[in-house]
Structure 1
Amino acid sequence: MPVPLYLLALAVFAQGTSEFMLSGLVPDIAHDLGVSVPAAGSLTSAFAVGMIVGAPLTAVLAVRWSRRAALTGFLAVFLLVHVVGALTSSYGVLLATRVVAALANAGFLAVALAAAAAMVPPGAKGRATSVLLGGTTLACVAGVPGGALLGQFLGWRAAFWAVAALCVPALVVVARSIPARSGAAPVPVRTELRALRAPGLATVLALGALVNAATFCTFTYLAPLATEVTGLAPGGVPALLALFGLGSFVGVTAAGRLSDAHPVPVLVGGGAALAAGWVLFAAAAGNAPAVLALAFVQGALSFAVGSTLIARALYAASGAPGLAGGLATAALNTGAALGPWLGGLAIGAGAGYRGVTVVSAGLVGLAFATGGVRRAFRTRQALKPQVERDVLPTSSDPHA
């Protein structure tokens, strides 16, 4: 894989750390800024909404820019708003910085996905995607716990400064190492929009959103599930989250080596194992060794299937190299917002924390059903011309 691809992954690591680290900083932010905990928690929601809305919009804007200019511009904005966030004493300003950071993150990831696909041979998009998304999984393993520790010992502002500091070397190397263009002529926006009507693209994006919703439905409530249902001591929760993140990294790396040549086995076999794993998680939630093992396994399966679906979206919309990345980013973040909401509904309805794993299983099952319906429809459409030739009379038929 090209070295610049790993430099993009470094920037994605910094941005992933920023996206997830607030889960451990909310109480301190609320106390420092004099707002309620739910108000501080809405900073996470603001980031998610900004990612969903911003991904396709910023991708459209970036189509007219060189990739180097787009990536450095988005990353510079991301860095600056974290400096502002670290300095401000206003909740309103901090909320605004989270929205702007999400827009910059969405634009960067959309362009980075297109750039990664252009850096490798046509049949290696899955592996390129896995390297890029590996930055997100490493944020779960190291970035998020590191941000929580910084917040605990030095205050929440230190975590914001750390993210800004991570962006500095990434910004320098991206500006120096990323090619301005892929070598091909820029694709007009109208042409890219037409290419988004590619058969199966909408289905693949929907499947990606559903699988990611299942992932974050349980991941969001993994800490209280472990302490309230499993009986794990609070001190063991960081290790549990790290196991999930480590599994995610292993899964996305393995998928990168398999998904280009063998996407169907990864999606069907991995998806079936993922659904079964969530059911098993619900049944074994009271057993600490089983929960620790399943956290690793489900993290691996979730990101293996999810990253493969994103790669398939880039293949399906190869005629829209810029906008395909934006839609893939929006699909991932739609799932990341939908999953916790559905999990919260299950908890509120009396299902408890164990119920979120059942919801995750249901979401993966819905993805399977959606993919099956789509496959059956395509098979029927393919067979239709042959059926018409066999059944309908033609002008050469003497009995017509």
Structure 2
Amino acid sequence: MPRGSTNAPRGARRSRTLPAPLGDLGPRAAAAVVVSMAVAAFCFVTTENLPIGLLSPIAEDLGASEAAVGLLVTGYGLTVAVVSVPAARLTLGLPRRVLLRRVLVAFLLATWLSALAPAYWLLLAARLVTSLCQAVFWAVVGPTVAGLFPEEVRGRVLALTFSGGSIGGVLGVPAATWLGQAANWRAAFLALSALTACVLFAAARSLPDTRPEESHAATGTHPDRVAYRAVVTANALLVAGVFTAYTYLAAFLDEVGGLAEGAVTPMLLLYGAAGVVGGLSAGAVCDRYPRQAFTVPSALVVAALCLLAALGTHRFALVLGVGLTGFACACVPIASQNRIMRVAPGSTDLASAGNSAAFNVGIASGALLGGALVDAGHVRGIALAGALLAAAALALALAEPLLPRRARPARG
């Protein structure tokens, strides 16, 4: 059976966790691809946010300011936003095994170099390389894993793959922070490089040696340029809304909620745990109701942030609002990626890169807006501003089917 076929073999046995893959790729090999890419996502998300919990140790060791170390995170995200589309365009024709192997090798070396960096500028350079690797990874991982399975189960496959990123935020960052504080900040980077080496070994053995154009997921199944632009814009707006509030959640819990400092960590864990549940549950919904898989979480974010803005002084409202926001926000990358795979006007790699760039723009702009409000003394306002941005995203997603399309010229 050709690899690009959209019909699974009749006699294929279905895995308990994954559907039967397409073509001649065995179920175990397909599962290994999904698991290795999920662990890679875990490594990327953990590495991206690792300096947040280790600002003081890194700054003290390298003789830099904490603000300079903070640039290792903000500059990372901005780099991903800027280079995602150009990097995806440059790597468009490479076979997936070759490309992802090179990306993981570069990521491994950059993470190892980060652990050994004797000076701040060298750590900054290593982080720049890591961010370039992440830009390429998020552009191609969705189409790569989606192309291994039938289209009707795409949402579930993406959910399993992207769950690694969610778990990285919930467990990876706190665990790496603990290791860095208990031993040395360099030990955290070394541990991540060791895990990346395992991912590289598994991916090199299991990834099929196919070119992007050979996969049924290489292009959108229902190309629609207007819908694509609407999805990407709504994604950026919603993420900006969430991060307007989430970036300064500790300040909100303190000044508005009146919680003690020790209560901040449990609330952050609640947000992350709810996100893991939301991400894993989003897959089946994406397969059955691709539009609603985005609009319903958007509506939940609006409701949760409005609840925090109006009743943030009440403990129950705080817990419910934070949990709902975490649950809904984790659904967004899966839902938007699933829609991108459907409406991409051309290459799904390029379309995914644009979506990744929009996601990072949303994070950066939301953090900037939230910071401006906090600096101005409007801490409660971060929830309201976030709700307004999320409402704009919801309105755009609901209006997208009604947006005018250009009529295609009739064929003579």
TM-score by length of 1: 0.87
Matched, 1:170 2:199: yes
Aligned position for 2:89: 60
Displacement of 1:132 = 1.9
Q: Which one-letter code corresponds to 1:177 in the other structure? A: S
CA contact (8 A) 1:150 1:159 kept: yes
What secondary structure is seen at the aligned counterpart in 2 of 1:230? Answer: coil
Matched, 1:48 2:77: yes
The percentage of counterpart residues that share the same residue type is 32
Find the aligned partners of 1:123 and 1:76 in 2 and give their Cα distance.
33
Aligned position for 1:370: 396
Matched, 1:86 2:115: yes
Alignment of 1:316-335 (within 5 A): 316-317=343-344, 319-335=346-362
Q: Which one-letter code corresponds to 2:34 in the other structure? A: L
Displacement of 1:247 = 0.9
Matched, 1:310 2:323: no
User: Is the deviation greater in 289-298 or in 106-115?
Assistant: 289-298
Matched, 1:269 2:296: yes
Displacement of 1:184 = 5.2
Q: Which one-letter code corresponds to 1:308 in the other structure? A: A
CA contact (8 A) 1:46 1:95 kept: no
Matched, 1:360 2:389: no
What secondary structure is seen at the aligned counterpart in 2 of 1:239? Answer: helix
Q: Which one-letter code corresponds to 1:257 in the other structure? A: A
Q: Which one-letter code corresponds to 2:78 in the other structure? A: V
Displacement of 1:142 = 0.4
Aligned position for 2:9: none
CA contact (8 A) 2:104 2:200 kept: yes
User: Is the deviation greater in 153-162 or in 65-74?
Assistant: 153-162
In structure 2, which of residues 54, 77, 81 is the aligned counterpart of residue 25 of structure 1? 54
Alignment of 1:260-299 (within 5 A): 260-299=287-326
CA deviation vs aligned residue, 1:125-160 (integer Å, no higher than 9, x gap): 222221222111101110011122112211221221
Return closer, same or farther for 1:183/1:304 CA change in 2, 3 Å cut-off. closer
Q: Which one-letter code corresponds to 1:222 in the other structure? A: L
Aligned position for 2:151: 122
CA contact (8 A) 2:304 2:320 kept: no
Displacement of 1:203 = 0.9
Displacement of 1:176 = 0.5
Displacement of 1:115 = 0.2
Aligned position for 1:388: none
User: Is the deviation greater in 205-214 or in 228-237?
Assistant: 228-237
Give 1 or 2 for the bigger CA radius of gyration: 1
User: Is the deviation greater in 225-234 or in 98-107?
Assistant: 225-234
Displacement of 1:207 = 0.9
CA deviation vs aligned residue, 1:75-109 (integer Å, no higher than 9, x gap): 11111111111111211111111111011011112
CA contact (8 A) 2:232 2:358 kept: yes
Aligned position for 2:7: none
Return closer, same or farther for 1:89/1:183 CA change in 2, 3 Å cut-off. closer
CA contact (8 A) 1:216 1:336 kept: yes
CA deviation vs aligned residue, 1:268-317 (integer Å, no higher than 9, x gap): 33322220111101223223343233222211111223421221011111
Return closer, same or farther for 1:381/1:86 CA change in 2, 3 Å cut-off. closer
Aligned position for 2:27: none
CA contact (8 A) 2:242 2:390 kept: no
Gaps of 5+ in 2: 1-17, 19-29, 408-412
Q: Which one-letter code corresponds to 1:262 in the other structure? A: Y
Return closer, same or farther for 1:164/1:303 CA change in 2, 3 Å cut-off. same
In structure 2, which of residues 372, 380, 389 is the aligned counterpart of residue 345 of structure 1? 372
Aligned position for 1:103: 132
CA deviation vs aligned residue, 1:202-243 (integer Å, no higher than 9, x gap): 111111111122222222112232233323333332222111
Find the aligned partners of 1:184 and 1:103 in 2 and give their Cα distance.
23
In structure 2, which of residues 139, 156, 174 is the aligned counterpart of residue 145 of structure 1? 174
Aligned position for 2:257: 230
Find the aligned partners of 1:182 and 1:99 in 2 and give their Cα distance.
27
TM-score by length of 2: 0.85
RMSD: 2.4
* Structure with the bigger percentage of helix: 1
Gaps of 5+ in 1: 383-400
Displacement of 1:67 = 0.2
Displacement of 1:23 = 1.5
